[in-house]
Amino acid sequence: MRLYYCKALPFTSAAMAIAQIKNLQRRLGNLEQEAVAEISRACGHDLWQSLGFDALDVIEDPDRRARANYYYGQLQTVRELSEALT
């Protein structure tokens, strides 16, 4: 990785910004893993990953369905933020 000096941004600030972005990417990765695990736990299987959001609607238990929907929203948000950073 190359670091470039910018007159408007001192070197230490640029390095800090890069470190903050890397830290944010790591945290987003952790949130994504958590969301995937919780959705799989609520569904009882990993098929939702290939079926998508529609697989969550067939969960009969309302509490499990609500938890799966919550984490699916978290997963979508994390993926959008991760895409914006790349």
Task: State the Cα–Cα distance between residues 54 and 73, nearest whole angstrom.
Answer: 13
Residue 10: inside a domain? no
Residue 3 forms part of a structural domain: no
- The pLDDT score that the predictor gives to residue 83 is 93
Query: What is the pLDDT, as a whole number, of residue 1?
Result: 47
Is 15 within the bounds of a domain? no
Mean pLDDT over each residue of the chain, to the nearest integer: 86
With a cut of 60, say whether residue 36 has pLDDT above it: yes
pLDDT of residue 14: 72
Residue 55 lies in a domain: yes
What total of structural domains would you count in the chain?
1
The answer as to whether 14 is a domain residue is no
Residue 46 lies in a domain: yes
Expressed as residue numbers, the domain containing 64 is 29-85
In whole angstroms, give the CA distance from residue 8 to residue 71.
40
When pLDDT is averaged across residues 69-80 and rounded to a whole number, the result is 96
